[in-house]
Amino acid sequence: MKILNLLPIINATFWTEDMSEYLSKYLQQDTVLDTWCLDFGPGSIEGEFDEALAASSVVLKCIAAEKAGYDAIFVNCFAEPGVRAAREIVSIPVFGGFEPVVHYALGVGDKIGIVTVLPEVVPMISGMITRTGLSHRFTRLRYVSVPVLDLGDDKKVLVNALVSESEKAIVDDGADTIVLGCTGMNDLRENVERALLDMGYKVPVMEAGQAAVVMLETFVRMGLYHSRATYMKPRDKIRTWWGGEEKKNI
């Protein structure tokens, strides 16, 4: 099985070998994970402007990925740019970072507390929660005020901030499950969970990237697919895109 890890950003250098290894941790032996990034788009996704810039590029990459023989696509971002759009045009499973971790978290407890990066992504994530119709299962959104591209700067400070916001989510908001609300902080999951445990909170801390690729693997294995009653195949008509020198039909 071949899963594409599609970064909806232009920073190829952002993604390291370690990150791939981390992401593949729970995949089966024969599952291959490749990583692509965008040719055009934002350096990171920190709001709906960035998301809009990424969406069309993501969709076009998904078309390419299906042609290249991938079995499933992970759009590696909690904001899920282009994910629903891609499901209309390709026939393989496509997930972003939000849905899979949430769908697993629903089985872990009653109330999910998301801790994310910046205040400016809060309305975007809040809108995603509302759109899913699952609002009753979430507590208020919390954030650590660290931009995505600075997440690697000082891991200790970041873990402390995540733990502190997680504790507020548990004690003040009644969360019983913590979800890290940015796929860029995946490798801190265990540290945060352990710190909370040391403080007496036996509360699972869940990470979006691993959840997504395992969910995709399950979808492929079980032959699940996104419903065509909702994700209907787009009609043929003129659609143009930049193709190097000239307009190109998609």
Give CA–CA dist 231/240, Å, rounded: 21
Counting residues that bind a second copy (by CB under 8 A) gives: 93
Among candidates 233, 149, 183, 206, which has minimal Cα distance to 74?
A: 183
Among 12, 20, 21, 26, binds a second copy (CB under 8 A): 26
- Please identify, among the stretches 16-24, 65-73, 117-125, 152-160, the one whose residues bind a second copy according to the rule CB under 8 A: 117-125
User: Does 49 interact with a second copy (rule: CB under 8 A)?
Assistant: yes
User: Does 110 interact with a second copy (rule: CB under 8 A)?
Assistant: yes
Taking the least distance from each CB to a second copy, the nearer of 69 and 223 is 223
Contact between 178 and 206 under an 8 Å Cβ cutoff? The reply is yes
Taking the least distance from each CB to a second copy, the nearer of 82 and 181 is 82
Taking the least distance from each CB to a second copy, the nearer of 11 and 160 is 11
Among 163, 175, 179, 208, binds a second copy (CB under 8 A): 175
User: Does 132 interact with a second copy (rule: CB under 8 A)?
Assistant: yes
> 39 burial class (0-12, 13-18, 19+ CB within 10 angstroms)?
exposed
User: Does 50 interact with a second copy (rule: CB under 8 A)?
Assistant: yes
Which residues are within 8 A (CB) of 133 and not within 5 positions of it... i.e. 6 or more apart?
Answer: none
Among 72, 170, 180, 208, binds a second copy (CB under 8 A): 170
User: Does 59 interact with a second copy (rule: CB under 8 A)?
Assistant: yes
Contact between 72 and 4 under an 8 Å Cβ cutoff? The reply is yes
> Which stretch of DSSP H or E encloses residue 3?
strand 2-6
Give CA–CA dist 47/125, Å, rounded: 9
Taking the least distance from each CB to a second copy, the nearer of 4 and 46 is 46
User: Does 20 interact with a second copy (rule: CB under 8 A)?
Assistant: no
Give CA–CA dist 111/245, Å, rounded: 51
